[in-house]
């Protein structure tokens, strides 16, 4: 695992945008396409806007990128809480990824049908490969959740399926989520975490005992890929070991 700590979310996002561009450039010299999983929530918005900016968007051959989502809130695409909607507003409407390569988790059909569709599509891509995605971007909530894997969730113990849906009682909505069984096969996984509000839980996730039922972010342990945590100073402030 490698920690990258920056002064603030702006500098963090700038450095991560640079890191992603270099990775995509390098990878596309060796293979035809690049598979990128986007995270939702509010943290990645600055990153997506940077990737869509004049400075970065020309660095990536977006025609050769395949886009997936880590999780989705089952609300209409027009709803501001929809993770795909956020990614379109900040990034995808501004770059040239062919529509056939953008794989949203559908919220216009029943969650179990959407899950079945997403599983089928992912199995077609990755059944015959050792790794799954080239890069998975993840966030973490201040309760230690990642993807739509919340503390105490009934799907947390599922080590078999690649995608699940789950009803979130607190938010009174279904969620659709990739599962660790697939995410942990990725070549590279990057968590992006900022803000003092997440400092305590981050310390527990990274330096506390292994208790993934309470801290689902601990379920993310790549089998043979790389795990990176891009943090700002405020989020990293309770960590003992920042490698410095
Ligand atoms: O609900 C979600 O939360 C996490 C963290 O979001 P943030 O707003 O704290 O950045 C996010 O990674 C996930 O994709 C999203 O559905």
Its pTM stands at 0.98
How many angstroms does the Cα of residue 40 sit away from the middle of ligand 1? 5
Query: Of ligand 1's atoms, which has the minimum distance to the CA of residue 138?
Result: 12
Give the number of other Cβ atoms within 10 Å of residue 217's Cβ: 25
Residue 158 sits in which domain range? 2-235
Looking at the domain assignment, is residue 241 inside a domain? no
Looking at the domain assignment, is residue 240 inside a domain? no
Ligand 1 site, CB within 6 A = 39-43, 70-71, 73, 83, 138-139, 141, 148
Which residue's alpha carbon is at the smallest distance from atom 7 of ligand 1?
Answer: 41
Looking at the domain assignment, is residue 107 inside a domain? yes
Give the number of other Cβ atoms within 10 Å of residue 132's Cβ: 24
Looking at the domain assignment, is residue 242 inside a domain? no
Looking at the domain assignment, is residue 136 inside a domain? yes
pLDDT tens digits, residue range 70-123? 999 999 999 999 999 999 999 999 999 999 999 999 999 999 999 999 999 999
Looking at the domain assignment, is residue 11 inside a domain? yes
CA distance 42 to 55: 22
pLDDT tens digits, residue range 183-220? 999 999 999 999 999 999 999 999 999 999 999 999 99
How many angstroms does the Cα of residue 32 sit away from the middle of ligand 1? 30
Looking at the domain assignment, is residue 153 inside a domain? yes
Q: Percentage of the chain with pLDDT > 70?
A: 99
CA distance 230 to 15: 9
How many angstroms does the Cα of residue 41 sit away from the middle of ligand 1? 4
Please state the φ and ψ torsions of residue 232, each to the nearest 5 degrees.
Answer: -100, 165
Looking at the domain assignment, is residue 30 inside a domain? yes
Provide the domain count of the chain: 1
In DSSP notation, the chain reads: -EEEEESSHHHHHHHHHHHHHHHHHHHHTTSS-EEEEEP-SSTTHHHHHHHTSHHHHTTS-GGGEEEEESEEESS-TTSTT-HHHHHHHHTGGGS---GGGB-----SS-HHHHHHHHHHHHHHHHTT-SS--SEEEE---TTS-BTTB-TT-TTTT--S-SEEEEEETTTTEEEEEE-HHHHTTSSEEEEEE-SGGGHHHHHHHHHS---TTT-GGGG---SSSEEEEEEEHHHHTT-S----
Q: What CATH number corresponds to the domain at position 8? A: 3.40.50.1360
pLDDT(244) > 80: no
């Amino acid at each position: 695992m490698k920690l990258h700590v920056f002064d603030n979310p702006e500098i963090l996002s700038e450095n991560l945008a640079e890191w992603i561009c270099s990775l995509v450039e390098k990878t596309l010299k060796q293979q035809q396409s690049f598979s990128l999983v986007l995270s939702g929530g509010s943290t990645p918005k600055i990153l997506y806007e940077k990737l869509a900016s004049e400075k970065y968007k020309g660095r990536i051959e977006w025609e050769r990128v395949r886009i997936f989502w880590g999780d989705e809130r089952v609300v209409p695409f027009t709803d501001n809480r929809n993770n795909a909607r956020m990614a379109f507003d900040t990034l995808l409407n501004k770059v040239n990824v062919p529509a056939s390569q953008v794989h949203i988790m559908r919220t216009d059909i029943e969650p179990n049908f959407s899950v079945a569709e997403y599983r089928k599509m992912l199995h077609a891509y990755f059944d015959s490969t050792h790794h799954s995605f080239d890069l998975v971007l993840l966030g973490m909530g201040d309760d230690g959740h990642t993807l739509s894997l919340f503390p105490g969730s009934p799907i947390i113990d599922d080590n078999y399926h690649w995608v699940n849906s789950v009803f979130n009682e607190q938010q009174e909505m279904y969620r659709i989520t990739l599962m660790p069984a697939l995410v942990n096969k990725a070549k590279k996984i990057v968590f992006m975490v900022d803000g003092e509000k997440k400092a305590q839980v981050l310390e527990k996730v990274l330096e506390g005992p292994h208790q993934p039922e309470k801290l689902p972010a601990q379920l993310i342990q790549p089998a043979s890929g790389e795990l990176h945590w891009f943090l700002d100073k405020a989020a990293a402030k309770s960590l003992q070991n920042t490698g410095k």
